[in-house]
Structure 1
Amino acid sequence: MSQVNGHAEAVEPQPPLAAYTVQEQPLGSTRHIRIVVIGAGASGLNLVRTLRLNLSDFEVAVYEKNADVGGTWFENRYPGCRCDVPSHSYQFSWRQKKDWTNFFSTAEEIGEYLCRVCDEEGMRESIRTSHQVVSAQWSEKDGQWELVIRNLESGEEFSDYATFLVNGTGILNNWKWPDLDGLDSFQGRLIHTARWPKNFDHTGKTIAVIGNGSSGIQVLPELQPGAEKLYHVFRTPTWVLPPRIQAWKVMGQAGQILSQIQMDAQENFSQETIERFQSDPDFYRAFVKKIEVEVNNAFPVVLANSPVQAFARAKVTEYMTLMLGGNQELCKALIPDFPLGCRRMTPGHGYLQALTQPNVEVRRSMIKRFVPEGIELESGEILKVDAIVCATGYDTSFRPRFPIIGCDGNLQDRWRNETPKAYMSCAVAGLPNYFMFLGPNGPIGHGSVFTLTEHIAKYITSVIKKCQTESIKAIVPSAAAVDDYFEHITAFMPRTTWATPRGRSWFKNGREDGPVTALHPGSRIHFFHMLERFRGEDWEYVYMGGRRNRFGYLGNGFSTKELDPQGDTTWYLDEGAVVR
């Protein structure tokens, strides 16, 4: 009996739990699963390969909104667009390219590389281009994601499902116009660097370039020579790095091997060097590893108030002053008064020199609005131009573009109203069987995305395999684990210059003093090390069939390792097979 409002009520007897029974299957048995991946950039392609190498009894579908694979390297084709990570680091470790033409690859060459990898690995059969995910909703009853997909060519929408949903859309993907009044009133050519028109001829035109992030720094020196006049408008200065090859030759560990590399003034490899890469595998491997060491060693620079930070800042200030010809007005406008790393540090081949040319004028100013003839600055000055190039970046809020509805409602609403939080940047509390590449506080600013995606793909695949072979219907990081991880991030970030409350940065979602949401709290190696072991204690599980016994997957006492006629039942005697 129970008491309700002072009255005794009968309680219906609960049926007894069914007796536990042994599953008649060997340990290691798999259940069939369907994995849907959103995005066919580097993350999506790498995941497809990793799944194929490590799983069986599964199917994978990749939905890509663009007309071809490549992600950001399909979309970004503005003049001067290239990667600012060395080419031989910016590639898959399992598909090395020995004939990169330049030390820093162009968008076209990276795009071609990704298409070739996709074709040679036979991945296109799993990818549907020009298809966009419209919505995703978790079905607790079925233990799967219910999806709505739109064919962007026909406009048709259809349903799909996923046992596991993996978001590989990336952080620098959802480009945005500047948030200004009068955007539609401008009567000239309005261009965003992420959607560069193939037919645009800038020759003889008066142009304004808005923004001095990496896109603005790369496109401006390409437009300057042919423009009649060029205005460069930005709010916050940024640190422009000297050529890395020079710095590494003098101070880095790659100096000796770099001295054996032949390049021209534009950092194009000589044919002799490319041929040596192709014919001398030991030399090539030594070169790749030394460059990777330099990429990995960047973290100490962003430690606030450190000797490395002070030394680097002095050297970069000296370089920028030299490239600006000592012009005091330009130096005051362009050299930051905040530490290195507060905004993304960018190498800028020819950028600073272009700003000293007679057809260029710099305006460090807020923009009040767009007007029919051009741009009205905060001062009231109107810049009359033929074209405006918006190098104004992306939506870095981490809010998904489409509804992702889990146990706690729509993630769009959650991350609109609160600071985005994720578990090790890969998973979200309240979203079972959902994973992502480079989510909140991922290592997006820590060097080559290619290598990062390899580690993340292995981690995600290992969790999926655990679920597939251990009768786990749904897995999700606990809210407590996510909160603890976020607490660590919040306490750690003030140690870095990323958190400096002066420089406006996309690391802080475009704010000056907001929390750092876009970067990992540590070095690149720190991130790799963190993902080496799956912390099962941080996750919540729902088992298949409502079973309460977590060891049901142990089955009938046999193992799939001994039932495969082609298998090796004494693998443990092989050297290195057992970790001691």
Structure 2
Amino acid sequence: MALAHLTGDPILLDMSVEQTPLRGGAFLSAQLDPVHHEQVRRRAIELAPGFAENTGAARGDAELRAMMTAFLGRPLTDGEFRLGREQLCVDDFPRAAHWSAGRPAGADDLGVVIIGAGPSGIATAVQLERLGLRYTILERQHAVGGTWLLNRYPDARVDVNSFQYQFTFEKNYPWPDYFASAADVRAYLEHVADRHGVSARIRFGVELTRASWDERSRTWHLEVTGAGGDGDGTGGPASVEHIETQVVVSGAGMFSTPKFPDIPGIETFQGRHFHTTQWDDSWDPAGQRIAVIGNGSTGVQLMPRLAEAAERLYQFQRTPQWISPMEGYKEPISADDRALLDGIPFYWNWFCLKNWAIGMSMEAAQTVDPDWVARGGQVSERNDGLRATLTEIIRQKLGHDPELFARCVPDYAPLARRLVVDNGYYDAILRENVELVTDGIVAIDETGITTADGTHREVDAIVYAAGFQVTKYLYPTEYVGVGGITQEKAWEEDGPRAYLGITMPSFPNLFMLYGPNSQPRSGSFINAIENWARYVAQMIALMAERGIRSVEIRPEVCAAYNKRLDDESEQIIWLTEAARTRGRNYYVSEQGRQVANVPWALPEFYGMLAEPRLDDYLLTW
């Protein structure tokens, strides 16, 4: 496709493409028929001498759509093409908010405060920087990174390909690994913030504790607690500052507030114990008796490394996980791939699109097929294929021990919860110094952990890999909206709800990134952030252009949107399997409502975020 993009050669687009099933057919990968491979190699060798100078002709939408259709081996819907075109990254800034007719004079009067210098805050700031708007980022930590600064535990790593976990406006970043480590993600975010002029607008070591809406001035009054001194947390007593701003954008997100297990006696333990987000770098696990509580993505990443050092390790499992190997996980990007990415124009673009398309193909495995179930299936042909594939992986690892095998096979469908990437987890369970504990924990005391069967295991250290309080989207700030209503009160009766996951009634000029029901069904967190940030920045631009003082989503619009969202969620396995995972799945609340994810397919939700509809909002001038 890179050669076709460079040359426009129709022969390259007429080559046959096969849909190759991955992981039992849950994912599909478009592959060029091997009969064409040699012809492509010869063509590349012919063109190679001119690669350095050849930037290719500009391709219009019709050409790009034809190329994408040939590349994926199937026609695209309009929504898929619009979204895929941005993922192809052929424009300098594919997801840019824009002025209708140049920057208006009113832009000078509009101020924005962004909460958090994680990926969401940075993406929003880059948009505002391009628009020439005035903004400040308040960050309670000492550096950029957000959740990737919190998560410093050994082997912390992204579980989607690095070529999806990146902004479309940052071209061919030199990722060292196919799946970026936490340290590499932090370096990437620092690079983006520096390169796009955001770093100078960040105030570190300060925290927004309270935000109150003033209905007369149409502004937010912010109470900010600072570390004192030079703002890095080391310069003296805390201070309180008051700031007034027209717009607040919260980038606190879902994964900012650690969750500790609710276990009697947890506070009495006398050894080292901490959450994975509060990793103790001074702690040496060598020769220790260690308990790891939790086996989600974090626990599965962390446990094998600790097992190598520990004298004894107890892995406490409440719920078995579907754990999948991932090609290229923990591998450095090969010299051959790097040569292609750097040396062939447009190769990087199509390589990124390929990874995105594979991920999006998973969405079909998330819905129930009634006809398949009527014929004796469990969910759908593709979901059941994934279940069979993952079950066989567990069987190959643990099948020699039927009792252990049975404890590790989930009773719910894959993708009903987040799929976990394998980091040597099953191999670690088989180590002589590791015990998988599946009896429920009833108490923690000064020396160890007691389970429901009466066994007490003495340990020197406990690591809580228990995840996050995902519904605390705006924590720890107290937000007070119209009429004095607090955010907690607004969500008290029915739990967290928002329009597009971004804004809610009674809280004008407050926008959330990674708010309720905004996690997409496929793709990466970074790509989702770009869509949210563009929407918010475009709304702010409209306010500046039209002299609008405040925008507030209409209650009836928000209610109707959430009704559609709830109805659509009924078709997805997050809810059909919820009875099996109640209280053990952050997708679904204790009340049985799906609170985390967007139920619509990615291209459809992307279309909802493409441009704000001012008719949906109450406006004041």
| TM superposition score category, shorter chain reference | 0.7 to 0.9
**In structure 2, what is the equivalent of residue 228 of structure 1?**
311
Q: Give the letter for the 1:466 counterpart.
A: L
Shift of the alpha carbon at 1:506?
6.8
Give per-residue Cα distances to partners, 1:356-395, cap 9 Å, x unaligned: 2221111113211211111111222211111111001111
Once the two structures are superposed, residues 156-206 of structure 1 have per-residue CA deviations (whole angstroms, 9 ceiling, x without a partner) of: 010001111100111011112212221221111102111111111111111
Written as runs of structure 1 = structure 2, the 5 A alignment for 1:49-88 is 49-54=126-131, 56=132, 58-88=133-163
Q: CA deviation at 1:510?
A: 6.8
Query: 2:412 — aligned with what?
Result: 338
Q: Who is 1:253 aligned against?
A: none
Deviation of 1:314 (Å):
1.3
Contact 1:507 1:517 in 2 (8 A): no
CA 131–481 in structure 1, closer or farther in 2 if over 3 Å, else same: same
Aligned residue among 538, 544, 554 for 2:616? 538
Segments of structure 2 that go 5 or more residues without pairing to the other structure are: 1-101, 228-232, 369-378
Aligned partner of residue 332 in structure 1, secondary structure: helix
Distance in 2, matches of 1:515 and 1:93, equals: 33
Q: Distance in 1 between matches of 2:469 and 2:609?
A: 27
Q: CA deviation at 1:455?
A: 1.1
Letter in 1 for 2:116: G
CA 1:28–1:189 in structure 2 vs 1: closer, same or farther (change >3 Å)? closer
Q: Deviation at 1:122?
A: 2.2
1:269 alignment counterpart: 333
Asked if structure 1 preserves the Cα contact closer than 8 Å seen for 2:254 and 2:473, the reply is no
Cα distance, 1:513 vs structure 2:
6.0
Pick the aligned partner of 1:472 from 548, 568, 571: 548
**TM-score (normalizing by structure 1):** 0.82
Q: What RMSD over aligned residues (CA atoms) do the two structures have, in Å?
A: 2.0
Query: Which of residues 596, 602, 605 is equivalent to 1:518?
Result: 596
Letter in 2 for 1:388: I
> 1:284-328: per-residue Cα shift (whole Å, max 9, x none)?
222111011112222112113222211111111112221224421
Q: Aligned residue for 1:284?
A: 348
Residue 250 of structure 1: aligned partner: none
1:96 to 154, 157, 171: 171
* Uncovered stretches (5+) of structure 1, i.e. residues with no partner: 1-25, 246-262, 544-580
Relative to structure 1, the CA distance from residue 361 to residue 325 in structure 2 (aligned partners, 3 Å threshold; closer, same or farther) is same
Indicate yes or no: 2:293 matched with 1:210.
yes
Distance 1:510 1:193, change over 3 A: farther
1:169 to 1:452, Cα distance in 2 relative to 1, 3 A: same
Counterpart residue number, 1:109: 184
Shift of 1:471: 2.3
3-state SS of paired residue (2:268):
coil
**Higher helix proportion, which one?**
2
**1:44 and 2:121 are equivalent in the alignment:** yes
Greater shift, 75-84 or 391-400, is seen at 391-400
Flag the 1:299–1:512 CA change in 2: closer, same or farther, 3 A: farther
Whole-angstrom CA distance in 2 between matches of 1:481 and 1:239: 38
Contact 2:315-2:435 within 8 A present in 1 as well: yes
CA distance in 1, matches of 2:511, 2:416: 29
CA distance in 2, matches of 1:530, 1:149: 34
Choose from 381, 388, 413 the match for 1:307.
381
Q: Is the 8 A contact 1:38 1:167 kept in 2?
A: yes
CA 1:96–1:364 in 2, change beyond 3 Å: closer, same or farther?
farther
Tell me, yes or no, if structure 1 residue 438 matches structure 2 residue 514. Answer: yes
Match of residue 469 from structure 2: 395
Aligned positions, number = 497
**Separation in 2, partners of 1:214, 1:530:** 30
**Alpha-carbon deviations, 1:407-462, whole Å to 9, x = none?**
15010233244311100101011100110101000025633111111111111111
Among residues 239, 244, 256, which one is paired with 2:322 in the alignment? 239
CA separation in 2, counterparts of 1:189 and 1:471? Answer: 56
The one-letter amino acid paired with 1:340 is P
Tell me the distance in 2 between the aligned counterparts of 1:89 and 1:298: 14
Which residue of 483, 486, 491 maps to 2:567? 491
Contact 2:257 2:472 in 1 (8 A): no
Alpha-carbon distance between aligned partners in 2 of 1:84 and 1:541, rounded to the nearest angstrom: 41
What amino acid is aligned across from residue 280 of structure 1 in structure 2? I
Change in Cα spacing, 1:533 to 1:99, as seen in structure 2 (3 Å) is: closer
> Which residue number corresponds to residue 380 of structure 1?
454
Q: Distance in 1 between matches of 2:605 and 2:298?
A: 27
- TM-superposition CA deviations, 1:18-45 (whole Å, max 9, x none): xxxxxxxx99552510000000011111
Alpha carbons of structure 1 residues 271 and 214: separation in structure 2 relative to 1, 3 Å:
same
Distance 1:150 1:422 in 2: 27
- 8 Å CA contact 1:438, 1:444 repeated in 2: no
SS in 2 for 1:457: helix
The alignment partner of 2:144 has SS state of coil
Aligned partner of 1:67: which letter?
Answer: H
Structure 2 distance, partners of 1:510, 1:178, is: 17
- Any idea what the Cα deviations from partners look like across 1:531-576, whole Å, max 9, x if unmatched? 1132233211112xxxxxxxxxxxxxxxxxxxxxxxxxxxxxxxxx
My pick for the range that moved more, 309-318 or 532-541, is: 532-541
Q: Distance in 2 between matches of 1:101 and 1:323?
A: 30
Q: CA deviation at 1:399?
A: 5.3
Which of 354, 371, 381 matches 2:428?
354
- C-alpha separation in 1, matches of 2:218 and 2:428: 57
Any residues of structure 2 matched to 1:444-463 within 5 Å, and which? 446-463=522-539
**CA contact 2:104–2:544 (8 Å) conserved in 1:** no
Structure 2 distance, partners of 1:325, 1:78, is 31
Q: 1:507–1:516: 8 Å Cα contact kept in structure 2?
A: no
Contact 1:149 1:157 (C-alpha < 8 Å) held by counterparts: yes
Question: Contact 2:318/2:438 (CA < 8 Å) preserved in 1?
Answer: yes
Moved more, 354-363 or 78-87: 354-363
Q: Distance in 2 between matches of 1:180 and 1:138?
A: 38
TM superposition outliers: structure 1 runs of 4+ over 3 Å: 26-29, 504-513
Separation (CA, whole Å) in 2 of partners of 1:312 and 1:273? 28
Looking at structure 1, the residues matched to 172 and 269 of structure 2 have their Cα atoms a distance apart, in angstroms, of 44
Change in Cα spacing, 1:230 to 1:510, as seen in structure 2 (3 Å) is farther
Cα offset, 1:512, TM superposition: 6.1
Shift of 1:334: 1.3
Structure 1 pair 481–491 and aligned structure 2 pair: CA distance change class (3 A)? same
Amino acid at match of 1:45: I
Larger-gyration structure (1/2): 1
* Counterpart contact for 1:192–1:392, Cα < 8 Å: yes
Native 8 Å contact 1:343 1:504 kept in 2: no
User: 1:526 offset after TM fit, Å?
Assistant: 2.5
Is contact 1:397-1:509 (8 Å) kept? no
Distance between the aligned counterparts of 1:234 and 1:106, measured in 2? Answer: 25
Which residue of structure 2 aligns with residue 123 of structure 1? 198
Offset of residue 519 of structure 1: 0.5
Secondary structure, aligned partner of 2:210: strand
Whichever residue aligns with residue 36 of structure 1, its letter is: V
